[in-house]
């Protein structure tokens, strides 16, 4: 690789961000790729007595117990249709993995900083707080979630 090509590749890597994407209801979300550990099909869950509704249960991930957060509940969206099962997007945290229950897993997207905008002013309070920003893509918006704010539900609802 020539020096010019190496510089161009390095510049492209610095100027774009990569997101693991998913759908919840009709919304299209993304999380930084490095925050995502893995994605899984639906896993049987064990309910947690007295947990807030957003905590759907616990899953066993190769011997590790992982909390599952229902993103529909977290975003105040209607429940899934009867007979449909969520997918697990397992994210890394300092305290270990947490699963976000989503409707459908998307692709990994690299997006240009020129497409970035602040969250729209018409978003509701809690939803807006969890959105870091928005990328305008062809025919749709990619809502970038702030992982730490999404996961704060555990602290907020136990206080």
Which of the four pLDDT bands, split at 50, 70 and 90, describes residue 2? very low
Provide the pLDDT for residue 124: 73
Residues 71, 34, 38, 64: is their CA dihedral positive or negative? negative
Question: In this structure, are residues 86 and 115 in contact, taking their beta carbons and an 8 Å threshold?
Answer: no
Which of the four pLDDT bands, split at 50, 70 and 90, describes residue 14? low
Q: CATH no. for residue 7?
A: 2.40.50.180
Q: What is the phi/psi pair of residue 126, to 5°?
A: -65, -40
Strands 140-145 and 27-32: parallel
Domains in the chain, number:
1
Domain containing 69 equals 3-156
Question: Does the pLDDT value for residue 7 go beyond 50?
Answer: no
User: How far, in Å, CA of 31 to CA of 133, rounded?
Assistant: 11
Rounded to two decimals, the pTM is 0.84
Number of residues that make up the chain: 159
């Amino acid at each position: 690789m020539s020096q010019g090509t190496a510089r161009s590749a390095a510049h492209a890597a610095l100027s774009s961000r990569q997101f693991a994407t998913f759908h919840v209801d009709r919304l299209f979300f993304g999380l930084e790729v490095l925050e995502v550990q893995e994605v899984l099909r639906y896993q049987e869950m064990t309910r947690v007595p007295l947990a807030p509704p957003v905590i759907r249960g616990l899953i066993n991930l190769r011997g590790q117990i992982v909390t599952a957060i229902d993103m529909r509940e977290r975003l105040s969206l209607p429940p899934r249709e009867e007979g449909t099962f969520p997918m697990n997007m397992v994210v890394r945290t300092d305290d270990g993995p947490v699963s976000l229950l989503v409707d459908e897993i998307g692709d990994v997207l690299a997006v240009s900083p020129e497409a970035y905008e602040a969250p729209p002013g018409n978003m509701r309070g809690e939803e807006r707080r969890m959105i870091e920003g928005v990328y305008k893509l062809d025919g749709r918006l990619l809502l970038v979630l702030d992982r730490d704010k999404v996961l704060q539900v555990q602290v907020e609802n136990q206080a």
